[in-house]
């Protein structure tokens, strides 16, 4: 039996740069994709002692649909619930551009420091097909921007590829250390 975390594709898989397709009818097929996304994220997290599986886009399990899931509680690793956003669209970016670290389940062991808006407004459908609107700020705003980038074929490393001092690696004791662009590139494309 294949571990669910093995469903997650990583760079250099070119599918991660494909634009995802809009979901027109929320069917059992999409519900299975959502269940696989949740299971893959939790399985990945179980293998990573210093990390939390915060969110995932369907394309990260090689399903080209405009679906993202986001952890309901970022502070509690024992809470395995996620919020589901179908056809998510950022309708407004606002606030300051703030720099912080980001990682990605599809970029093994490499982190980056990049700027994102501190506030966003999101419109999407929930699992029942109902329109939902979210005002987010801080870390949640960053996560939303990261995941919406995924469904548009953009990886966080694409934002910082011209900034050689923006790449980091997580040490075994859970600390981030700066690495060269060449080391990051070698890690990403191994």
Residue range 66-120, pLDDT digits in tens? 999 999 999 888 899 999 999 999 999 999 999 999 999 999 889 999 999 999 9
Residue range 22-74, pLDDT digits in tens? 999 999 999 999 999 999 999 999 988 878 899 999 999 999 999 999 999 99
On the question of pLDDT at 187 being above 80, the answer is: no
Q: Which of 98, 127, 147, 172 is catalytic?
A: 147
> Which token pair is 29?
């097929």
Q: Which H helix or E strand runs over 57?
A: strand 55-57
- Give CA–CA dist 65/36, Å, rounded: 13
- Give CA–CA dist 47/150, Å, rounded: 23
pLDDT in the model for residue 189? 63
147 catalytic residue (yes or no): yes
All structural domains of the chain, each given as residue ranges with its CATH number in brackets, are 4-188 (3.90.45.10)
């Amino acid at each position: 039996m294949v571990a669910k975390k093995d469903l997650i594709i990583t760079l250099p898989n070119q599918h991660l740069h494909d634009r995802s397709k809009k979901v027109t009818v929320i069917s059992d097929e999409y519900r299975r994709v959502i269940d696989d996304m949740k299971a893959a994220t939790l399985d990945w997290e179980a293998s990573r002692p210093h990390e939390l599986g915060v969110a995932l886009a369907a394309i990260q399990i090689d399903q080209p649909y405009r679906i993202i899931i986001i952890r309901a509680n970022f502070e509690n690793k024992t809470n395995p619930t996620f919020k589901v956003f179908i056809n998510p669209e950022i309708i407004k970016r606002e606030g300051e551009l703030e720099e912080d670290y980001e990682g990605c389940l599809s970029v093994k062991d490499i982190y980056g420091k990049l700027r994102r808006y501190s506030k966003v407004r999101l419109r999407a459908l929930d699992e029942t097909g109902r329109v939902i609107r979210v005002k987010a700020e801080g870390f949640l705003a960053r996560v939303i921007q990261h995941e919406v980038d995924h469904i548009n074929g953009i990886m966080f490393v694409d934002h910082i590829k011209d900034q050689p001092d923006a790449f980091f690696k997580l040490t075994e004791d859970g600390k981030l250390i700066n690495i060269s662009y060449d080391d990051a590139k070698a890690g990403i494309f191994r």
